[in-house]
Homo-oligomer: A and B are copies of this chain.
Amino acid sequence: MTARREPISRRERPAKPALSRRWIVDTAVRIMRAEGLGKVTMRRLAQELDTGPASLYVYVANTAELHAAVLDSLLGEVDLTGRDGGEGWREQLRAVMTSYTGVLFEHPQLARAALVARPSGENYLRLVERILDLLSQSGAGREQVAWGVDKLLQSATATAAEQSTREHDPAFEDDWDATVRALHAVDAATHPAITAHMPALVGGSVSDRLRWSFDVLVNGIVHTPVPVVED
């Protein structure tokens, strides 16, 4: 019998894989799905990877960059086809933006991270490419389209950062409540405009507001020329 050296002793764990950026980010995504972005810390991640936090700095510059990488990974879930929207560029674009918003709504804290550290991974680039392509079918000028993509993404991201925070985190629920209460409690004499606009100011469903925001931006973008650049 030939002696086959079975590496049995190295088998207690699923064979601790070599560290790599890919493996680090995938693990971070797994932690986020299971316990939220708040748990995706350098220390916790290192623990999960069976190493010390210092080791991660070979592959990731800092926590913000790590979160940006997690976001990019999540963006792989966005439906870029706009298939649900039907035929026109506008409806397809709406469907893509709705899908993007949906992904962020499911991972509230990620939206906040996106506003701070912009992603630059492949999924983000694919998303930008697709939105540019659809928006340019509006016939608007090149610069309007370029700047417009930014506003569309910013608006959706900011809404997700605000709105969905409220739903998941009881601490932030309070802040929104406080704002609503403050708006209701306002003195009609000193704040006539708030009083006059009051039900609407805090009303409306999330989806109505999202749809309206989208229309506002698209209408604005295609009708507002960029300022002439001076040399």
Q: Mark A139-176, 1 if CB is under 8 A from B, else 0.
A: 00011011111110011011101100100000110111
**What's the number of copies of this chain in the assembled complex?**
2
Q: Indicate if the CB atoms of A194 and B154 lie closer than 8 Å.
A: no
**In the complex, what residues of B have CB within 8 A of residue A133's CB?**
192-193
Binds B, one of A17-25, A36-44, A207-215: A207-215
Cα(A226)–Cα(B204), bound, Å: 10
Cβ A208 vs Cβ B226 within 8 A: yes
Minimal beta-carbon separation of A31 from chain B (angstroms): 21
Contact check, A197 vs B112: say whether CB atoms are below 8 A apart: no
Check A175 against B129 for contact (C-beta < 8 Å). no
User: Which residue in B150, B151, B200, B216 is a CB contact (below 8 Å) of A221?
Assistant: B216
Across the interface, which residues of B come within 8 angstroms of A145, CB to CB? 197
Given A61-B174, A196-B142, A227-B211, also A182-B217 (CB < 8 A): no
